[in-house]
Amino acid sequence: MCGIAGFSLSASSPVSRTLAAQALLAGIAERGADAVGYAWRNGGPEIGVRKLRGGASRLLEELALPEDTSQALLHVRDYTKGHPDIEANNHPIRHGSVVGVHNGVVENDDALLARYGLRRHEDAMTVDSEAIFALMELRQHDARALGEIRGAMAAAWLDERDAETLYLARGLARPLWLGRGACELFFASTRRALRIAEAALGVRLEVCEVREGRLLRVVRGEVVRERRFRPDPRYRETEALPPVRAPHEGVSTLARFALIVSAVG
């Protein structure tokens, strides 16, 4: 069980980009402590990525985004496939022009890559999540392609071929929440993470959960298109995973974030 979060903001949004990312990271910190990372884009197509081993508390104070950042992705990892000692296995994951984060498991990742003749972005990679972003790059973000993935999924990604768009998708068995502001859209694995961001940033958010089998295209803080897909019904989760995987990491990161907010105030 990992945690994902991030945002798409219009240029007119007054919120601090760094504080927004720190709030969301603090909100998902309890969901994994094997690795942590974030990606961002500010105007151009290029996507910056920063990640390291360990929990969110290791990265929180170092996290810094340009104030013209338009999109950001955040991830905390509780790994299943793809050892975190190999940096390429940790999120955000790159495959070609696509950079993304994923909460869940893909059972047929090797089969999908083989079917389409796709190589791993780096030879040492074994993480199952790469198959999602490889498929999205190849199939140009076709919602129908997501139906070929067998597993659990909530995911978000950016594509360097399209400087404006953030993609969000929810398949089976993993949560994905949206928080809409006046000119902002935030997303997270938990409603609580959005409420933490709302309080820290002083914005009002309309919060809702994304339905299963949905792909959203988000531009400048607005959902501009929603498409449906049919998740592979053969996937069955054999045991329910607890949403809190790193409780001490969650407490520590929230305490550190409270100090950041008090200093800003």
pLDDT for residue 38: 98
For residues 192 and 6, what is the distance between their CA atoms, to the nearest angstrom? Answer: 14
φ and ψ at residue 182, rounded to 5 degrees: -65, -40
Closest CA to 170 of 210, 143, 115, 230: 210
**CA 150/CA 90 separation, integer angstroms:** 20
The CATH number corresponding to 3-264 among 3.40.47.10, 3.30.360.10, 3.40.50.1110, 3.60.20.10 equals 3.60.20.10
DSSP state of 241: P
β-pairing, 162-170 with 184-188? unpaired
Per-residue model confidence (pLDDT) at position 120: 97
- Using alpha carbons, select from 66, 64, 19, 7 the residue that is nearest to residue 200: 19
pLDDT score, position 222? 98
Q: Please, what are the averages of pLDDT over each run of 10 residues along the chain (265 residues)?
A: 96 97 98 97 92 96 96 96 96 98 97 97 97 98 98 98 97 97 97 97 97 98 98 87 86 96 84
Strand extents, DSSP E, the chain: 3-9, 35-41, 48-53, 71-77, 93-95, 98-106, 151-159, 162-170, 177-180, 184-188, 206-209, 214-219, 222-228
> What does pTM read for this prediction?
0.97
**DSSP single-letter state for residue 131:** H
Q: What is the pLDDT of residue 240?
A: 73
Amino acid at 177: W
Respond yes or no on whether the N-terminal peptide bond of residue 92 is cis (omega within 30° of 0).
yes
Q: Would you list the domain boundaries of the chain?
A: 3-264
Farthest CA pair distance, the chain? 54
Residue corresponding to tokens 């498929």: 135
Altogether, the residues listed in the chain come to a count of 265
What tokens appear for 242 in the block? 């607890």
